[in-house]
Amino acid sequence: MLRKSVPRRRVGLAAPLTLLAVAVVAALALIPLTTPAPRGVDTPAADFASARAKAHVERIATEPRPTGSDANARVREYLVGQLAALGLNPRVQDTTAQRVWPSGSHLGGRVHNIRAALPGSGGTGRVLLVAHYDSVVLGPGATDDGMAVATILETMRALTAEPAPRNTVEVLLTDAEEPGQLGAQAFADSPDSGDRAHTVILNLEARGTRGRLVMFEAGPHTAAVVPNLTGSLPFTTSTSDEIYQVLPNDTDFTVFKEAGFTGMNFAVVGGSARYDTPLDDLANLSPESLQDMGDTVLAATRALGAAELDLAGAGEITYFTAFGVLVRYPQWLGLVLAGLSALGLGVVLWRRRDTTGLRPVGAVSGLVLVPVLGSAVLGWLGWRVLTLVAPAYANFEFGDPYRPELPTAGLAVLVLVCCVAWLRWVRRRWSAPVVAAAVAIWFTVLGLLAAVLLPGAAYLFTWPALGAVAGLALLPAEGSPWRPLALAAAAFPAVALVLPLLVVLLPTVGLALVAVTMLVLALLLLPALPAVPRVPGSALVAAGVVGVLLVAAGPLTDRTDAAHPVQLSLSYTKDVDTGAAALRSPTPAGEPWLDRQLTGAPETVSETFPGLPTEPLRQGPARDAVIPVPQAEILDERAAEDGVRTVTLRISPAQAKATALSVYAATGMTSVRLNGRELPAKDNRDAGNQWRWALHYVAPDEGFTLTVSFRGAHLPLRLVAWGARVPEVALPARPDTVAWSPGGFGQTQAVRQLTL
């Protein structure tokens, strides 16, 4: 009897031990996502020290520094001085640039890029370190992108403390990235932008204010570029590159890729609640993230500085970090592995058709959609409930409140309950191997599809599929202590590869898109389900209650204070033709200070103020204040025999310094030239009103010339001047528990009608 009791005990513990092993692998996979400890000013000269870099941020990020502002000029002078002190011979590229958008306002403006170089010792390649030194209008930009600028300064200091690298290391600090990458466009258009075939760009950005550095996008020829991430590894995956290509987001690196450059794009992505707001300040700068960015950039620059940077012929690779190691292989191998998993699964299913059955496996495969889609619905409903209970959550433009941890944990618990409840229901009729085979089918099919459509992401499905095939092929007999391990074989590569991506993805998409992360979480949990023992219904109910309580605890604990203020949108608008001024906001009612300002009924005003949202806006009266207003002077006017009129205007700001000028035109133009350069005259916006074409011009102190040709007797234009902030005389003082949200609000708009 003693001999019989031992195997039964081992079998009984096999499933929990298997799940414990999966949890251990998950924990080990997450360790590399921790940020390094910051280093002090006594760090050796050849190493990166966040304390030294932070001293630069303290000079750069004292106030907002949008393009064209006095603060922008002061920071530029400081940066030129720092680069000169390193002996790098800096120079300023002072020029005007423009970007064309097929579905959005064309962009123009005057920019001042800063360039400097550390000559190489004999190599023909170039490493180009890029960051933008301008900020949004309302925030000091300590992280976006002050941290990156400081990283480059400290990196160059470290490089000058040792023998020159083989390849030239050049610095490009761009202007006007925030309004639309104008500085990058000016560099790409310049005749001395350099040899694309021997240049690798490292572009440094921020999408949040804390957390691990992520290399989220790479240019072409990844086989020659990505392997240079050595020594200090960021989190990276070719999956993020695939995802980023279909998103509407742009950085300076977008312009460089369009111009034929390659390289890598880095960003800090955690803490998006403060991103692009006045709270992106020195107090919220993470020294750990700064050290992480510095260690990574310095190591990559040294590796690239010593490499043979001849990119011709270099192919594309699948790459990802796992357990602190950079894994990479040719993209074609991903298709081979996906094919092998499909072939292996077919063989295993046929060999085990007597025990699993093809029909049961097919039936359960269809039912797999239930927990996956159910988890997405749970995430969607969770966000809707949160915004009903705490309407202020909806004001976070980038989707994440200050403290998202509790509601996220609660939703994750509910997804786990959903998956285990589904397993409990399925296991009433079908065996664990059938469930494992059904999960294997899904990962195999997704792996094949990804290998063809999104090759950089195929590894997320292919390796778990291969694990599942191996587990089913080696599946021991019923009663073996190794059976749960074989059933859950797919879970080990799944948690190692998918879980870190999920942790990084969550703060990137935020709670507003938590349905996406919950769907990914369900996919992550599926491979472990076949090893889960029967769970009592009472335990599932208790876990569900815990999940609901955690979700509810989020708004209750996320209290508003000076460090975590409510984020609001508000514009001061003025119709110059009538003299009427008003405050307008899309923020729903619920914040007492804002509600006291907005006493009028909501109104749609995008016809008069085309720079405002098209939905009805809350409004309230405002005192008259001195703000920048647009003015126009006709310089030339002529008519052609074919009925086309051509008018040249000088458009400039008046009364006060403007951050930008915009021109909106009705349909009918045949050609447009900005400062003598051609712009498309085709409609580039669909706002539901007559203003179908738009131009946005930043840093407009000296104004600009606009030459328009059109048919017909008249062409209506709408001119808009933008100011940096709502004047204090027009608005009662804000409490410290209220801050401006991203997106251009907290500013002024003055409009004027002009008919040519």
Burial of 598 (0-12, 13-18, 19+ CB in 10 A): buried
CA dihedral 643, 644, 645, 650 (to 10 degrees): 180
At residue 4 the predicted structure's pLDDT band, cuts being 50, 70 and 90, is: very low
- Kindly report which listed range (411-425, 513-527, 627-641, 731-745) carries the lowest average pLDDT score: 731-745
The reported pLDDT for the residue numbered 507 is: 84
* CATH code for the structural domain at 50-315: 3.40.630.10
The reported pLDDT for the residue numbered 357 is: 78
Question: In this predicted model, what pLDDT tens digit does every residue of 336-389 receive, in sequence order?
Answer: 999 999 999 999 999 887 777 789 999 999 999 999 999 999 999 999 999 888
Distance CA 187, CA 292 (A): 28
Give residues with Cβ within 8 angstroms of 340, minimum separation 6.
466
Q: CB 579: neighbour CB atoms within 10 A?
A: 8
Name the residue with higher pLDDT: 245 or 222.
Answer: 222
Name the residue with higher pLDDT: 668 or 634.
Answer: 634
The reported pLDDT for the residue numbered 3 is: 37
**Does the pLDDT at position 583 exceed 90?**
yes
Tell how far CA 651 is from the center of its chain.
Answer: 35
What value does the mean pLDDT of the chain take?
92
Between CA 32 and CA 449, with CA 507 as vertex, the angle to 5 degrees is 80
- Kindly report which listed range (179-183, 557-561, 750-754) carries the lowest average pLDDT score: 557-561
The pTM for the full model equals 0.93
Q: CB 665: neighbour CB atoms within 10 A?
A: 24
The residue to which tokens 């021109």 are assigned: 663
The reported pLDDT for the residue numbered 389 is: 87
**Does the pLDDT at position 5 exceed 90?**
no
**Does the pLDDT at position 745 exceed 70?**
no
At residue 434 the predicted structure's pLDDT band, cuts being 50, 70 and 90, is: very high
CB 619 within 8 A of CB 587: no
Question: In this predicted model, what pLDDT tens digit does every residue of 387-411 receive, in sequence order?
Answer: 888 888 887 877 688 999 999 999 9
Mean pLDDT across 182-204: 95
Cis before 145 (ω within 30): yes
Question: In this predicted model, what pLDDT tens digit does every residue of 84-127 receive, in sequence order?
Answer: 999 999 999 999 999 997 678 899 999 999 999 999 998 889 99
Question: In this predicted model, what pLDDT tens digit does every residue of 268-326 receive, in sequence order?
Answer: 999 888 999 899 999 999 999 999 999 999 999 999 999 999 898 889 999 999 999 99
**Does the pLDDT at position 220 exceed 90?**
yes
**Does the pLDDT at position 7 exceed 50?**
no
Distance CA 8, CA 11 (A): 5
The reported pLDDT for the residue numbered 1 is: 34
**What is the share, in percent, of the chain residues with pLDDT greater than 90?**
75
**Does the pLDDT at position 746 exceed 70?**
no
CB 456 within 8 A of CB 245: no
Task: Give the best-scoring range by mean pLDDT among 9-23, 161-175, 545-559, 729-743.
Answer: 161-175
At residue 196 the predicted structure's pLDDT band, cuts being 50, 70 and 90, is: very high
Q: Where are the domains of the chain?
A: 2-32+332-557, 50-315, 568-756
The reported pLDDT for the residue numbered 744 is: 56
The reported pLDDT for the residue numbered 431 is: 92
